[in-house]
C-alpha cells in the first residue's frame, strides 16, 4: 500500500495455511477495489432513473418502502435472500442468524438451496446439526474419490484449503490415489490417477452400489467408531437393491469398475469420498450426500485421520463432555404455493417466483437481497426477473448495479473489501486444518460498515424505526451468546456485565468474534486459561495461528437425540423408493446439460474485472465430437440450446473431454440486461445457464435446485 492506494497484491509466504498460495481472483482485489462501476454511495431509483443519494435519504426510502407493506400484509410479505458472499463477509456471517430472526419472515431464501443444501440435510439427520459437516482430510488421506467437484479450478468448497492443486499432487506423491467421477474430463480429472465418466444425475445409484458392494463382500469395518454408530443394518438394507449390474446401465459405469472402487475404498489405509456441487445440484442430491458419509462410516473413515473429519474451528463452541442434542427436523413449515418443506430454516429459492407471482394471503410483495444475484444464479432466471420486477419494493445490499439489483428501489453498497476486517468465520468451520487468522482493514471505508447497513435494514424489517441505533443488533447477538455461555457452564459463575466489559474497546463485530474465540475450544475463557486464544492473540500473529491437523471429535460433538451417528435416518429411508423407481424408468437418451466453473471467474459477479477476462474464461457450450457431428455443430459455430423453460445461443467448443450425450455451459454469465452498470462484463456478456435450468425440478428432501442433467435439445444456428 501507498497510503490508501494498492500497489501490488501477492500471497503471504509466511501465512501458516496458504504459505503464499493465492488464486487469480485474490490478486484481483486491487481491480475490485478500484472498479469505477463499484458503487460508493447508495442508489435510489425513480422509474428507470438512478441517483446517488446520502445514506440518510436512502435509509429513509427503505423505511418508507418496507414499513407500509409490513403493516398491511405482515412480515411474510417481505422475502429475504442471502447470497454467497455473505459467507465471505465477517459482518454478515456473524449476524446472519439474528438478521433472519429480525426479519421474522417465513420467506427466507439463500444460495444454499442452489448449492449444498443436501449436505446440510444429511449432516442434520446423521450428526444432529446441519452445520456439523465432515470434510475430506486431504492432507493425510491415501485415497480420495472426488464426486462432482473440480477443485483444481474451484479450489474446493465445503473443504477450505489454500492450494488444492498442490494438496492433490501431494496425495499422489505420497503413494495415495485420486479418482474423479465426473461427466467431464476436468483439469482435476486430468491430474488424477483415474477419471470415470458418469451420466449426469446418477451419482446416488453409483454410490449406493459401492456401499452395497462393501457390505456384500464383507468389507465393512467401522473400527473404533462402531460404538458410535446406529442403524448400520438398516442402512445395509437400504442399499441392498442397488447391485452394480443394475446400476451400470443407468450410470454408464460398468459393474466391475463399481466393485473395484468399493474394494479400493475399503482397502485403502485411509479414504474419503468428497462430494460437491455436481453431486448435490441434482434430483437425488440428498441421497448422494448420505451415501458418501455412509461409506465413510462403514469403511472406518469417519472421524479418522485421512478420512472425513469434523473441523474444530477456534470460534466454534467447545464440545460438551458427552453428546447432547435434540436432533434435526425437516419441514417445520412449508411454502405457501407449492407446499415445499423447509430445510435448515429456509425455503427453496427455486420457488421464490411462485411466492411473488401467486396472489393471496402471504404473497411476497417486497424483497431484500444481501450479496445475491438470484436472476443469474437460480433456476429459470427469466421468470424470476419478471417476478422481481413486479414487486412493490426491493432493497439490495450490494456493491453493483447488476442483473438482479437493477430491480431494486434502493441499493446500499457495502464498503470495499479492503476497508473491512476479516476472519474466515464461515470457512474455518469447513477447513481441512484448524486455523485462525484475522486481518484488520487496510483503507478507510467509503460509507457505513457492512454490519451497520445490514442491521439498519433488519431493524426496519422487524418493525422498528430506521433511526434506531444499529448497534442494538450486534449487541443483542452478543448478549445472547454471553448468557448462553454462562447458563451452559462454559463461563460458570461469571456475571454477564463483567464479561461484556472485558470486551470493551472494540467494534461490535470484533467483540462478538473476540467472545467466540475466548469461549471456543482454544479460548482463554476470560483469564481461566491464560495461555488461551483471544482476538488479541490473532492481532499479534499476523500470519495466522496454526491449531494443527483435524482431530477426532466423536461422539461428544454429536447433536442427535440418540447421541449416535444415525446411519439410516427415517427421512432418508423414505426417499429411497424414489431412487428405486428411477432405476426402472430408464431416462431418455437425449442430450443433457451440466454446469462448470472457471478459474478466472466467481459465480456471477467477477466478470467486471478486466484482468480476469483472459484465457479459458469464455461462455462456451462444450460438446463431444460425436454429438457435434451428429447434430451438425462446428467448433466456433453457434448452437441454440433449448430446455423446457427457455433457450439461449452460445458458441460451440468441441472436445472429447465431454462424455457423449452431455454438454457443459458455465453458470454466472448473461450480462446483457438493460440498465445494469457493469461495463466490462457487458462487453463480454455470454448467456445464462439458468435461463435453461428448470425451477420445477427439486431434490424433494432438501429443496435444492436440480442444476445438472437438464434435458435439452441442441441445434446449429445458421
Ligand X SMILES: Nc1nc2c(c(=O)[nH]1)N[C@H]1C(S)=C(S)[C@@H](COP(=O)(O)OP(=O)(O)OC[C@H]3O[C@@H](n4cnc5c(=O)[nH]c(N)nc54)[C@H](O)[C@@H]3O)O[C@H]1N2
Q: Residue 346 or 402: which CB sits closer to ligand X?
A: 402
Does 228 bind ligand X (CB under 6 A)? Our answer is no
Record the cell numbers describing residue 194, joined without a space. Answer: 483415474
Q: Which residue is nearest to ligand X (CB)?
A: 278
Element counts in the chain: helices (H) and strands (E): 25, 25
Residues from 169 through 198 that contact ligand X (CB under 6 A): 181-184, 186, 198
Q: How far is the CB of 378 from Mo ion (least distance, A)?
A: 12
Element (H, E) at 433: strand 433-436
Query: Of these partners, Mo ion, ligand X, none, which one is at the site of residue 209 (CB under 5 to 8 Å by kind)?
Result: none
- Identified binder of ligand X from the candidate list 399, 521, 523, 670, rule CB under 6 A: 399
Residues from 406 through 465 that contact ligand X (CB under 6 A): 414
Q: Residue 122 or 604: which CB sits closer to Mo ion?
A: 604
Stretch that binds Mo ion, among 109-117, 324-332, 420-428, 460-468 (CB under 5 A): 109-117
Query: Of these partners, ligand X, Mo ion, none, which one is at the site of residue 206 (CB under 5 to 8 Å by kind)?
Result: none
Q: List, as one string, the DSSP characters of 590-617.
A: SEEEEEE--TT--TTT-TT-GGGSSTT-
Alpha helices by DSSP H, listed for 244-284, are 244-251, 255-267, 277-280
- Identified binder of ligand X from the candidate list 356, 397, 567, 633, rule CB under 6 A: 397
Helix/strand/coil for 696 = coil
Would residue 128 be called left, alpha or beta, if left means φ above 0 and alpha means ψ between -120 and 50 degrees?
Answer: left
CB 544 within 8 A of CB 424: no
CA trace torsion 238, 243, 246, 249 (10° rounding): 110
Q: How far is the CB of 428 from ligand X (least distance, A)?
A: 16
- Of 359, 379, 357, 377, nearest in space to 367 by CA: 357
Query: Of these partners, ligand X, Mo ion, none, which one is at the site of residue 66 (CB under 5 to 8 Å by kind)?
Result: none
Q: Residue 141 or 154: which CB sits closer to Mo ion?
A: 154
Residue with cell 482463554: 524
Q: Residue 65 or 201: which CB sits closer to ligand X?
A: 201
Q: Residue 299 or 402: which CB sits closer to ligand X?
A: 402
Q: List, as one string, the DSSP characters of 69-88.
A: HHHHH-GGGEEEEE-GGGGG
CA trace torsion 665, 671, 673, 677 (10° rounding): 170
Q: Which residue is nearest to Mo ion (CB)?
A: 115
Annotate 311-341 with b (16+ C-beta within 10 A) or e (fewer).
bbbbbbebbeeebbbebbebeeeebbbbebb
Does 150 bind ligand X (CB under 6 A)? Our answer is yes
Element (H, E) at 410: strand 410-412
- Of 447, 452, 485, 457, nearest in space to 470 by CA: 452
CA trace torsion 497, 499, 505, 510 (10° rounding): -120
Q: Residue 115 or 354: which CB sits closer to Mo ion?
A: 115
Task: Tell me whether residue 442 is exposed, middle or buried, using C-beta atoms within 10 angstroms of its C-beta: 0 to 12, 13 to 18, 19 or more.
Answer: middle
Stretch that binds Mo ion, among 107-115, 147-155, 394-402, 687-695 (CB under 5 A): 107-115
Binding mask 238-277 vs ligand X (x if CB under 6 A, - otherwise)? --------------------------------------xx
- Identified binder of ligand X from the candidate list 95, 99, 229, 279, rule CB under 6 A: 279
Q: Residue 70 or 114: which CB sits closer to ligand X?
A: 114
Q: How far is the CB of 587 from ligand X (least distance, A)?
A: 12
Query: Of these partners, ligand X, Mo ion, none, which one is at the site of residue 676 (CB under 5 to 8 Å by kind)?
Result: none
Q: How far is the CB of 116 from Mo ion (least distance, A)?
A: 7
Residues from 62 through 121 that contact ligand X (CB under 6 A): 83-85, 89, 111, 114-115
Q: Residue 112 or 652: which CB sits closer to Mo ion?
A: 112
Record the cell numbers describing residue 632, joined without a space. Answer: 451438425
Peptide bond into 555 cis (omega under 30): yes
Record the cell numbers describing residue 580, joined without a space. Answer: 428405486
Query: Of these partners, ligand X, Mo ion, none, which one is at the site of residue 709 (CB under 5 to 8 Å by kind)?
Result: ligand X
Per rule CB under 6 A, count of chain residues that contact ligand X: 61
CA 372/CA 109 separation, integer angstroms: 10
- Of 489, 535, 536, nearest in space to 513 by CA: 535
Does 370 bind ligand X (CB under 6 A)? Our answer is yes
Q: Residue 122 or 228: which CB sits closer to ligand X?
A: 122
Q: How far is the CB of 491 from ligand X (least distance, A)?
A: 33
- Identified binder of ligand X from the candidate list 373, 537, 617, 620, rule CB under 6 A: 373
- Identified binder of ligand X from the candidate list 31, 96, 113, 155, rule CB under 6 A: 155
- Identified binder of ligand X from the candidate list 124, 176, 544, 668, rule CB under 6 A: 668
Does 596 bind ligand X (CB under 6 A)? Our answer is yes
Residues from 111 through 130 that contact Mo ion (CB under 5 A): 115
Contacts of 622 (CB under 8 A, 6+ apart): 184, 596, 653, 654, 655, 657, 658, 663, 664, 665
CB 127 within 8 A of CB 555: no
Per rule CB under 5 A, count of chain residues that contact Mo ion: 1
Stretch that binds ligand X, among 215-223, 233-241, 596-604, 635-643 (CB under 6 A): 596-604
Does 678 bind ligand X (CB under 6 A)? Our answer is no
Q: Residue 225 or 369: which CB sits closer to ligand X?
A: 369
CB 402 within 8 A of CB 373: yes
Stretch that binds ligand X, among 293-301, 472-480, 490-498, 706-714 (CB under 6 A): 706-714
Stretch that binds ligand X, among 218-226, 357-365, 398-406, 475-483 (CB under 6 A): 398-406
Task: Tell me whether residue 588 is exposed, middle or buried, using C-beta atoms within 10 angstroms of its C-beta: 0 to 12, 13 to 18, 19 or more.
Answer: exposed
For CA atoms 556, 560, 561, 564, the dihedral sign is negative
Record the cell numbers describing residue 291, joined without a space. Answer: 451415501
Residue 623 per-residue DSSP state:
E
CA 663/CA 139 separation, integer angstroms: 33
Does 323 bind ligand X (CB under 6 A)? Our answer is no
Q: How far is the CB of 277 from Mo ion (least distance, A)?
A: 7
Does 282 bind ligand X (CB under 6 A)? Our answer is yes
Q: How far is the CB of 87 from Mo ion (least distance, A)?
A: 9
Where do contacts with ligand X occur on this chain (CB under 6 A)?
83-85, 89, 111, 114-115, 147-151, 153-155, 157, 181-184, 186, 198, 200-201, 203, 276-279, 282, 370-374, 377, 397-400, 402, 414, 594-599, 601-605, 667-668, 689-690, 693, 707-709
Where do contacts with Mo ion occur on this chain (CB under 5 A)?
115
Amino acid at each position: 500500500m501507498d497510503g490508501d492506494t494498492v500497489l501490488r497484491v501477492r500471497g503471504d509466504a509466511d501465512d501458516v495455511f496458504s504459505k503464499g498460495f493465492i488464486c487469480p481472483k485474490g490478486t484481483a482485489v486491487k481491480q475490485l477495489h478500484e472498479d469505477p462501476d463499484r458503487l460508493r454511495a447508495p442508489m435510489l431509483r425513480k422509474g428507470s432513473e438512478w441517483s446517488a443519494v446520502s445514506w440518510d435519504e436512502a435509509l429513509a426510502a427503505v423505511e418508507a418502502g418496507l414499513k407500509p407493506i409490513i403493516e398491511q400484509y405482515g412480515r411474510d410479505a417481505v422475502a429475504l435472500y442471502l447470497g454467497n458472499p455473505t459467507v465471505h463477509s465477517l459482518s454478515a456471517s456473524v449476524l446472519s442468524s439474528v438478521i433472519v430472526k429480525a426479519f421474522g419472515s417465513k420467506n427466507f431464501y439463500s444460495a444454499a438451496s442452489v448449492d449444498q443444501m443436501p449436505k446440510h440435510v444429511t449432516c442434520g439427520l446423521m450428526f444432529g446439526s446441519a452445520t456439523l459437516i465432515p470434510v475430506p482430510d486431504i492432507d493425510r488421506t491415501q485415497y480420495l474419490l472426488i464426486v462432482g467437484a473440480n477443485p483444481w479450478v474451484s479450489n474446493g468448497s465445503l473443504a477450505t484449503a489454500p492450494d488444492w492443486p498442490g494438496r492433490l499432487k501431494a496425495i499422489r506423491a505420497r503413494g495415495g490415489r485420486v479418482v474423479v467421477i465426473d461427466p467431464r474430463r476436468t483439469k482435476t480429472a486430468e491430474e488424477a490417477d483415474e477419471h470415470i465418466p458418469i451420466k449426469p444425475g446418477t451419482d446416488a445409484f453409483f454410490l449406493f452400489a459401492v456401499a452395497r458392494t462393501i457390505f456384500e463382500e464383507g468389507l465393512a469395518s467401522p473400527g473404533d467408531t462402531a460404538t458410535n454408530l446406529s442403524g448400520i443394518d438398516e442402512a445395509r438394507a437400504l442399499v441392498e437393491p442397488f447391485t452394480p449390474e443394475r446400476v451400470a446401465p443407468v450410470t454408464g459405469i460398468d459393474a466391475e469398475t463399481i466393485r473395484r472402487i468399493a474394494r479400493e475404498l475399503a482397502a485403502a489405509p485411509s479414504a474419503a469420498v468428497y462430494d460437491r456441487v455436481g453431486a448435490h445440484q441434482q434430483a437425488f442430491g440428498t441421497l448422494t450426500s448420505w451415501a458418501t458419509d455412509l461409506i465413510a462410516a462403514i469403511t472406518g473413515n469417519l472421524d479418522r485421520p485421512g478420512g472425513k473429519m469434523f473441523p474444530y474451528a477456534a470460534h466454534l463452541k467447545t464440545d460438551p463432555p458427552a453428546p447432547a442434542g435434540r436432533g434435526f427436523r425437516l419441514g417445520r413449515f412449508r411454502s405457501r404455493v407449492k407446499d415445499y418443506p423447509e430445510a435448515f430454516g429456509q425455503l427453496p429459492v427455486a420457488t421464490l417466483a411462485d411466492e411473488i407471482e401467486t396472489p393471496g394471503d402471504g404473497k411476497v410483495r417486497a424483497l431484500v437481497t444481501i450479496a445475491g444475484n438470484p436472476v443469474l444464479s437460480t433456476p429459470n432466471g427469466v421468470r424470476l426477473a419478471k417476478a422481481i420486477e413486479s414487486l412493490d419494493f426491493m432493497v439490495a445490499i450490494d456493491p453493483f448495479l447488476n442483473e438482479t439489483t437493477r430491480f431494486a428501489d434502493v441499493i446500499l453498497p457495502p464498503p470495499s473489501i479492503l476497508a473491512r476486517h476479516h476472519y474466515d468465520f464461515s470457512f474455518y468451520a469447513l477447513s481441512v486444518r484448524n486455523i485462525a487468522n484475522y486481518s484488520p482493514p487496510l483503507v478507510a471505508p467509503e460509507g457505513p460498515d457492512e454490519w451497520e447497513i445490514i442491521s439498519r435494514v433488519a431493524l426496519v424489517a422487524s418493525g422498528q424505526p430506521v433511526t434506531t441505533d444499529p448497534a442494538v443488533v450486534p449487541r443483542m447477538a452478543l448478549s445472547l451468546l454471553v448468557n448462553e455461555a454462562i447458563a451452559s457452564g462454559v463461563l460458570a459463575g461469571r456475571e454477564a456485565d463483567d464479561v461484556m466489559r472485558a470486551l470493551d474497546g472494540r467494534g461490535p463485530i470484533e467483540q462478538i468474534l473476540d467472545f467466540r474465540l475466548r469461549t471456543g475450544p482454544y479460548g482463554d475463557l476470560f483469564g481461566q486459561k491464560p495461555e488461551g486464544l483471544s482476538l488479541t492473540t490473532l492481532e499479534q500473529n499476523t500470519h495466522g495461528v496454526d491449531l494443527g491437523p483435524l482431530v477426532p471429535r466423536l461422539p461428544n460433538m454429536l447433536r442427535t437425540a440418540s447421541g449416535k451417528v444415525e446411519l439410516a435416518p427415517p427421512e432418508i429411508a423414505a426417499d429411497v423408493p424414489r431412487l428405486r423407481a428411477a432405476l426402472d424408468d430408464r431416462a431418455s437418451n437425449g442430450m443433457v446439460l451440466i454446469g462448470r466453473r472457471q478459474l478466472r471467474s466467481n459465480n456471477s459477479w467477477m466478470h467486471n474485472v478486466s484482468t480476469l477476462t483472459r484465457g479459458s474464461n469464455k461462455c462456451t457450450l462444450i460438446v463431444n465430437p460425436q454429438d457435434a457431428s451428429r447434430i451438425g455443430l462446428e467448433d466456433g459455430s453457434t448452437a441454440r440450446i433449448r430446455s423446457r423453460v427457455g433457450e439461449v445461443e452460445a458458441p460451440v467448443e468441441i472436445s472429447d473431454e465431454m462424455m457423449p450425450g452431455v454438454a457443459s455451459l458455465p453458470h454466472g454469465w448473461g450480462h446483457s440486461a438493460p440498465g445494469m452498470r457493469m461495463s466490462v462484463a457487458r462487453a463480454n456478456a455470454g448467456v445464462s445457464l439458468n435461463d435453461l435450468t428448470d425451477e420445477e425440478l427439486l431434490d424433494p428432501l432438501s429443496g435444492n435446485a436440480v442444476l445438472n442433467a437438464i434435458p435439452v435439445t441442441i441445434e446449429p444456428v445458421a
